[in-house]
Amino acid sequence: MQTDSSFTFVLFGGTGDLSMRKILPALYEAHRAGGMLADSGKIVAVARHAADRGEYIQWVNEHVKPHVSKNGVDETAWSSFLERIEFVKIDLGNPEDFALLRDAVKDLPGIRVFYLATGPSLFVPICRALASVGLNENARIVLEKPLGYDLKSSNAINDAVGEIFAEEQIYRIDHYLGKEPVQNLLALRFGNALFEPLWRREWVESIQITIAEELGVEARGDFYDNTGALRDMVQNHLLQLLSIVAMEPPHSMDSDSVRDEKLRVLRALKPINPLDIGKVAVRGQYHSGVIRGNAVPAYATEPGVKPNSTTETFVALKVEIENWRWAGVPFFLRTGKRLADRVAEIVVNFRAVPHSALGASALRAGANRLVIRLQPNETIRLYCLAKQPGEGMNLASVHLDLAFDQFFREGQMEAYQRLLLDVINGRLALFVRRDEQEAAWRWVEPILNEWKASNKPPKPYAAGTWGPAAASAMLAQHGTCWLEEEN
């Protein structure tokens, strides 16, 4: 992926955690690779916690450098990367300061990208301040999640930003869409005759999508206690992954063709009757427990969390899609904090053979399945049954690894690196369009409203486990279980 696109990348929240851990390391990796970033491209960090460029570069060396390059830092590349960085000290609460930014970038080359690595409460004020000094013209704006608290607040932000930037200028980022296995899922489905004929209700028994974390809320207790797992993970990451898995083949990979098909999936999600939410939605909250031999506290005792909080840290859902391809196929979504392992994966369970002359093992659920692992290691694995060596016809599970790192010499590109390059080069396919976001909020909102109205506490689960027993019971009713394997 080479580019001649000159750019000025303006990073709001330049000293924030996201900039430190993801954005600046991703830009460095693109710089180090050579040819991915135009030589004339500049990075302008905006923050108020550094006095000048020298102090900011010192901060980058101290805080960002440890997060780059798994195989070590190329000092020559790092030094030339730092030469790309400029710094502007701005108080985001003072619109008059944006004249300083205008003056700093007016002579810099190329397309202007404004990345808002800030809290959502600052999205609209920043956009209005940019417009007040004419910086919204012919520019691109990148918005991080969460974009609103519910459908109403999301629409309010989108309306306000949409008055300043056209839809084709707005890049709503969901980093899971930039992960290599998600890209390979599209390649497997739409580039091969082998999988696409099986990708439908006649051959698929169920699909699971899991995003599990070992970490708790860390230093984000105050934010998380007003958000919860449904807003933080389901409305965006999980429903976006579901739409990628279930979408129809687009006629091309251009931005609107892909996003049109994702939107059709989101609009086909079967609405949940409030009376049935207890049957198809499980919410939990972690209590104290042990993870990798270390005792961890209960959610209610985390800093910033209200002691009597009813905020969910775990969600499991049964989802149905009302269309010809997927009618009757359950999609099970699961996410949570302080679970037994850190893993993100998609599991496609194929139906068992209709009749087995080889014994009951050929009829068990999940004997044939495709597992797309997104983290911590990115792999795709196809499971099937084979005869065990020796006397008799005894079957055992075996798997085929699609080991892309053995076929391709170049390393896999990190999600943020891919997405930032897409922003710079004007590719929108992997970013969330407004109507997608609205459809996701519209489906999630009845669950939020019912949980709030019922005032029932979340189901407890011990930290270091896989969540409340009710989540496993929900799958057992459909004759299946969560895939819980060692990495």
What phi and psi values does residue 116 have, to the nearest 5 degrees?
-95, 85
Beta strands in 14-124 (DSSP E): 42-47, 85-89, 111-116
Bond before 376 cis per omega within 30 degrees = yes
What's the token pair of residue 93?
Answer: 């609460």
Question: Which of these, 231, 163, 178, 182, lies nearest to 373 by C-alpha position?
Answer: 182
**CA-CA distances (angstroms) from residue 13 to 41, 50, 83, 236, 485?**
19, 11, 20, 22, 38
Q: How far apart are CA 36 and CA 1, in angstroms?
A: 6
Q: How far apart are CA 176 and CA 196, in angstroms?
A: 22
Question: Which of these, 434, 379, 381, lies nearest to 412 by C-alpha position?
Answer: 379
Question: Which of these, 323, 190, 268, 227, lies nearest to 436 by C-alpha position?
Answer: 268
| Binding region | 48, 91-92, 145, 175, 179, 213, 232, 337
Q: How far apart are CA 179 and CA 446, in angstroms?
A: 30
Identify the active-site residue in 49, 237, 399, 478: 237
Q: How far apart are CA 335 and CA 237, in angstroms?
A: 10
Active-site residue, 237 included: yes
Q: How far apart are CA 59 and CA 14, in angstroms?
A: 10
Contact (CB, 8 A) for 428 and 168 = yes
Please spell the DSSP secondary structure of 137-192, one letter per residue: TTEEEEEPSP--SSHHHHHHHHHHHHTTS-GGGEEE--GGGGSHHHHHHHHHHHH-
* 445 exposure class (CB count in 10 Å sphere: 0-12, 13-18, 19+): middle
Helix/strand/coil for 371? strand
| Binding region for NADP(+) | 48, 91-92, 145
Q: How far apart are CA 355 and CA 443, in angstroms?
A: 38
Contact (CB, 8 A) for 360 and 385 = no
What's the token pair of residue 379?
Answer: 């792999």
Helix/strand/coil for 396? strand
Given the DSSP bridges, would you call strands 170-172 and 139-143 parallel, antiparallel or unpaired? Answer: parallel
Contact (CB, 8 A) for 356 and 362 = yes
- If phi > 0 it is left, if psi is from -120 to 50 it is alpha, else beta; for residue 435 that is alpha
Enzyme catalytic residues: 237
